[in-house]
Structure 1
Amino acid sequence: MRGSLIAAYGSFLLSLTRFPVAFAWETSCESFALQDILGVNLINARYYEANSTVNITTNMSSIDAANLPAFCRVQLLVTTNATANSTCYTEVWLPDEWTGRYLTVGDGGFAGGVNVGELALLAVAQGFAGVSTDTGHVSTEGSGSWALNDDNAIIDWGWRALHLSIVAGKEIVKQYYGQDLNKSYYIGCSTVSICLTLHSLKEVQSFPDDFDGVIVGSPANRQTYLQDWGVRMSLNVLPVGSPQFINASTWEDVIHPEVLKQCDALDGLADGIINDPRICNFRPETLTCRPGQDTATCLTLPQIDALHKIYSDYYEANQTYIFGPYYPGGEAAFPDGLVGNETLSIALDWFRNFVTNDSQWTIDQYNPSLIALAEEINPGQANAVSPNLTAFAGSGRNGKLLQYVGWADQLISPSNSIHYYESVHAFMISETDMETADFYRLYTVPGMNHWLAYRAQNGYGANAFGSVEQASTGLPPLSYDPEHNILAAMVRWVEDDIAPTTLNAVYYNDNQASNGIGFVRPICQYPQMLRYNGGNQSSPDGFDCM
């Protein structure tokens, strides 16, 4: 399926090519030598002919394909701090049929590894020169042990390695093709999952000249509060075996069906998908156990109290706002997410290695004072919360930002995306004469979990629309035109000044394209919601954004 889709939009890519090049690319690649890029060392340059086997695995991702266009893979070592003798490993992939565009893709969680899957299927397969970095360390997504007592490594992870790799990559592109790039883009999602989106918003706020267009999914930009919220969500139902504990079968077989019973049809169609949970006033009390009832089929009063906390904004005792709520609809993924999970590898490693410098710290030691401590330290300067995007979006730069979030996100509250969008919107109204929709649009995706943190079960809904970790996990967009592919939509917005309205996403049966198309539906621009209009349930025409 993936190969046929790539072949199908080959002519589309060629039509976008603005910088045709007629060099002997294999010779140019394997004889490539850097010309005076301070702090950048070339490790290797290897040429891959069109449709040759590309089989590469890193700690971040892998690619095993034989249907890619021809490209040159350039491997680099970039100095991030000469005094500390620190470096990051970076790759730049350079397609023969280059469109003049540059695409940066991120890592996920604490992963230290180049995102080769997205360099292949988002960058070179669509004519972009692509760059990705290990952010200065080698590790899996869930392991942050490398950060213990190493502020320099944390800064590399937080922003420095990516920014320096972007700068180096742009110069590599210029030297390889003999001309400057035309436009620069970023695409990524989250930070506790597949793609380090805190980087993208950090870049927009701190280095507004790096990108012309940025696509972010469910950003973890409020990093210091996010990890506190994650622990707090889990502690609402812990310890295991306590009166308030909710096990996996209760989430999936008791709570989720009741959520659907109360809320599913509010958007006009009872189909197992809550299109906008903001209109759902879920009442868990309807599940209260009666005397003598089997507790496997109902909820105790402590469990109901826990649910009220989970579905509410999180405030500390002094009424300081910390983070948004979970929304009804993502319960089937909770047991593997943050609710009731004692291991919480991301949060544990955050507090152990980034905040307390105590490798033995456990979540039962959590207390609210750690929020203030994390804010004071701001590890890696990773927070990206400034609402002032004028340097990126103003007349001198005219940058564009597309953001998306799944309503059933079980790792980062969808409210976080809304909170950031509204803070930018309010700032632009009060401080500028700019219109937010002219440069920043947020899309909410019904039924989608925290993107592909759970690759086998990323939610029941139309959730494939050309973003990161989709094609590489069997979920390519239905088409690579701007109506179905968010990257093409961004390109058209930046280069042709045609702003996207809705996107059409596809649900593949069992979340695998090889199983066929289940349905195609629009993704609405916030604050609109998707409503059924009585038409074909499998077609975008059957739904309206209202």
Structure 2
Amino acid sequence: MVRKHALISAIVGLSTSTGVLARSYNGQAACTAAAISQPSLFGAEIQSLTVEEVRNRTVPSNGNAFPSNLTVSYCGVNISYTHTGWNDLINVEVWLPLDTWNGRFQGTGGGGWQMSSGAPALASAVDEGYSAARTDGGHPDATASVASASNWALLSPGNINFPLLQDFAAVALSDMAILGKSITKSYYGQKPEYSYWTGCSTGGRQGMMLAQRYPDLYDGILAKAPAINWDSFVVTEYWPQLVMNTLGAYPPPCEIEAFTQAAVAACDELDGLKDGVISDANACAFDPYSIVGKSFSCNGTDESIFTREGAAVVEAAWVGPVDASGKKEWYGLNKDASLAGIANTVVAAANFSARGAPFAISAEYIKYFLTRDPALDLRNITGEDFFRLLQHSRNQFSSIIGTADPDLSLFKSHGGKIITWHGLADELIFPNGTEDYYKRVMAQVADVQDFYRIFEAPGVGHCSGGAGPQPRDDLKALVEWVENGVAPDTLPVVNTTLNGAEPGPGEELPRRKICAWPKKQRYNGGDPLVADSFDCV
């Protein structure tokens, strides 16, 4: 049942626990627009505030990130506002548990060009007792182009919409925290005891941007597979496509996948256990050219031969962009990562001709932000063009959206904590870029492991998926660190299936642990289904 209350519109002047316990608050307001104070936001005008009480709403699952249907009851508050002179309109949604608040606030992140992960992220937070918020950053996710920047990137031909880019990159994230915590205080009669951020991919980048630029807004940040180094990695995602175009060859997806499987077969047991996972990616020296001329099968039937062109494309994806002088400009993917994202090809139904299929975010970034030409045929980009565009991206956009500032000293002095985990089989964001950033933080800030730890998850894809066991209870580990001072040396990971199938009655899923960098997971010879059979070395 939903009871919707009156709309209030106003222009506002410019101004400036340890356990998870469900409890009532003496100052808790009614879930009505009249009872909740309108927030103020410096530099912005509140356009509207609506309130509705929602009971027993079932929110469907959303893939591996939010795998369960949840039924939640909450007070929903929606705020629309604009930054004076920016001509934007941003919507923030806050969900407040009706009677199970744990005293904490949670900001939730998005993915791709999306600023939020929608209702599943809010429901997951509310189900755990958090008040939670999300933002659309000024491009509402009710549109069909939610995963695209094409409807907002350019103000006019050749002119980037810098206000909305700033909103997407950073500004709307700060706004959401300020508004979300203000609404939380107004409803419960007291401010949150602790504030946490959770997100993966773009959501991970958002978390790191908050730590870098707004260090006092969150006590704990869970930044998974973060899309940091944006100005470098998004351009790099196009590199295998450029190699295809240069060669005039477009290997079929089954050949590319066969190269990946050959690499896994060659390097799987380097950790002492045959499990379809490459645990030590840096130790895998498999050369794709070593199997050129050998046969493989597509779909288990048609036999084909590994080609030199296929090996060149795979090598490009694994090594990353190397310029004419031999300088390596960014990283590549690990050898057990699927290459279907950045080295994909398709065959035209009309004439059966093959062509490259670039990853959409990379293609849009090059078209709309780097060249400002939506009609650009990416196949005409030369190697010289590529490295010029990469440098242009770094020059113009690193300060806006690069999210790679290693100076986290203010976040550290605030007492904040960060946990990052990154799947080593991530198919879209290069894990070595995350490690590179961490090393730069270590060079800038003393005693980094006292407040910031990264974990590498063997066999895990982008945010989820892959052959490896999936991280679990990462937010609980962060809360324990922030509120009780217990720093995590490992994070639990759990297989999603048992020998490829759902577990039966009484059967438990295999469990392992991943290690705080620089340590790596190493099999010690015990039962591979038990976490104690793996050490951190």
State the TM-score, normalized to the length of structure 1: 0.82
Distance (whole Å) between structure 1 residues aligned to residue 67 and residue 48 of structure 2: 22
- Name the counterpart of 1:303: 310
Runs of at least 5 residues in structure 1 that lack an aligned partner in the other structure = 1-12, 429-433, 453-457, 466-484
Residue type of the alignment partner of 1:383: G
Say whether residues 1:492 and 2:480 are aligned partners: yes
Report if the CA contact (8 A) 2:212-2:405 is conserved: yes
Q: Quick one: which of 222, 227, 231 aligns to 1:224?
A: 231
Distance 2:138 2:502 in 1: 35
For 1:517-540, what per-residue CA distance to the aligned partner results, in whole angstroms no more than 9, with x for missing partners?
541111121111112111111110
Tell me, yes or no, if structure 1 residue 372 matches structure 2 residue 391: yes
Give the match for residue 147 of structure 2.
142
SS at match of 1:421: helix
Whole-Å separation in 2 of the counterparts to 1:62 and 1:443: 21
Query: Aligned partners of 1:62 and 1:279: how far apart in 2?
Result: 33
What SS is found at the alignment partner of 1:381?
helix
Q: Give the Å deviation of 1:316.
A: 2.9
Match of 2:50 in 1: 44
Q: 2:357 is matched by which residue type in structure 1?
A: E
Q: Are 2:523 and 2:535, in contact at CA under 8 Å, matched by a contact in 1?
A: yes
Q: Which amino acid aligns with 2:276?
A: G
Q: How does 1:104-183 map to 2 (within 5 A)?
A: 104-111=107-114, 115-121=118-124, 123-138=125-140, 139=143, 140-145=145-150, 146-149=152-155, 150-183=161-194
**Contact 1:42–1:74 under 8 Å retained in 2:** no
SS of equivalent residue, structure 2 residue 255:
helix
Indicate the SS of the match to 1:97. coil
Per-residue Cα deviation, 1:211-251 (whole angstroms, up to 9, x for no partner): 11111112121111112101112222347xx6753322113
Q: Secondary structure at 1:523's aligned position in 2?
A: strand
Q: Secondary structure at the match of 2:231?
A: helix
Verify the 8 A CA contact 1:408 1:459 in the aligned structure 2: yes
| 1:64-79 correspondence to structure 2 within 5 Å | 65=69, 67-68=71-72, 70-79=73-82
| 1:273–1:461 Cα contact (<8 Å) kept | yes
Alignment match of 2:86 (pick from 81, 84, 87): 84
For residue 275 of structure 1, give the secondary structure of its aligned residue in structure 2.
Answer: coil
Q: Are residues 1:460 and 2:451 paired? A: no
Whichever residue aligns with residue 385 of structure 1, its letter is A
What letter matches 1:316 in structure 2?
D
| Correspondence for 1:388 | 407
After superposition, the Cα gap between the structure-2 partners of 1:257 and 1:112, relative to the gap in structure 1 and judged at 3 Å, is closer
Contact residue 55 and residue 63 of structure 1 kept, 8 A: no
Count of aligned residue pairs for this structure pair: 486
Contact 1:100 1:128 in 2 (8 A): yes
Change in Cα spacing, 1:507 to 1:230, as seen in structure 2 (3 Å) is same
Query: C-alpha displacement at 1:503, in angstroms?
Result: 1.2
- Asked if residue 426 in structure 1 is aligned to residue 443 in structure 2, the reply is yes
Which letter maps to 2:448? T
Shift of 1:111: 2.2
Task: Report the secondary structure of 2:113's partner residue.
Answer: coil
1:389-432, Cα deviation, whole Å (9 max, x unpaired): 101012xx11111111111111111111111111111222xxxx
Equivalent AA in structure 1 for residue 375 of structure 2: Q
Q: Does 1:539 align with 2:530?
A: yes
Cα deviation per residue 1:187-224 (whole Å; 9 max; x = unaligned)?
A: 11112xxxx32221111111111111111112121111
Cα deviation, 1:447-474, whole Å, max 9, x if unaligned, reads 111124xxxxx21111141xxxxxxxxx
Q: 1:405 to 1:520 in 2, by over 3 A?
A: same
Q: SS of the residue aligned with 2:89? A: strand
- Structure having the higher helix fraction is 1
Alignment-derived partner of residue 212 in structure 1:
219
Give the conservation status (yes or no) of the 8 Å contact 1:114–1:134.
no
Q: Which residue does 2:418 correspond to in 1?
A: 401
> Quick one: distance in 1 between partners of 2:502 and 2:32?
34
Equivalent residue of 2:429, what SS? Answer: coil
In 1, the alpha carbon distance for the partners of 2:28 and 2:265 equals 63
TM-score, with length taken from structure 2: 0.83
Determine the structure 2 residue equivalent to 1:445: 457
Contact 1:90–1:114 (8 Å) recurs in 2 = no
SS where residue 316 of structure 1 aligns? coil
Kindly state the Cα deviation for residue 487 of structure 1 after the two structures are TM-superposed: 0.5
Alpha-carbon separation, structure 2, partners of 1:41 and 1:259: 56
Relative to structure 1, the CA distance from residue 55 to residue 217 in structure 2 (aligned partners, 3 Å threshold; closer, same or farther) is: closer
Distance 1:205 1:378, change over 3 A: same
Q: Distance in 2 between matches of 1:175 and 1:361?
A: 50
Would you say the 8 A contact 2:108–2:133 is kept in 1? Answer: yes
| Aligned-partner residue type, residue 494 of structure 1 | V
Distance across 2 between alignment mates of 1:544 and 1:66: 35
1:255-303 per-residue CA deviation (whole Å, 9 max, x = no partner) reads 2332122100110101111112111111223312169x99954422333
Q: Deviation per CA, 1:151-192, whole angstroms, max 9, x where unpaired?
A: 22111111111211111111111111111211111111112x
The one-letter amino acid of 2:102's match is T
State the Cα distance separating 1:322 from its structure 2 match.
Answer: 2.7
Report if the CA contact (8 A) 2:341-2:358 is conserved: no
Query: What is the identity percentage for the equivalent residue pairs of Structure 1 and Structure 2?
Result: 26
Deviation for aligned residue 1:509 = 1.7
- Counterpart of 1:7 in structure 2 is none
CA contact (8 A) 1:106 1:187 kept: yes
Pairwise CA RMSD? 3.0
Aligned to 1:481: none
Residue type matched to 2:412 in 1?
A
Show the counterpart of 1:5. none
Q: 1:269–1:176: structure 2 CA closer, same or farther, 3 Å change rule? A: same
Q: Which of 517, 521, 524 lines up with 1:526 in the alignment?
A: 517
The AA in structure 1 aligned to 2:409 is T
2:273 paired with 1:266: no
Does residue 356 of structure 2 align to residue 312 of structure 1?
no
| 1:310-342 deviation per Cα after TM superposition (whole angstroms, max 9, x unaligned) | 222433335555321211111xx3224445552
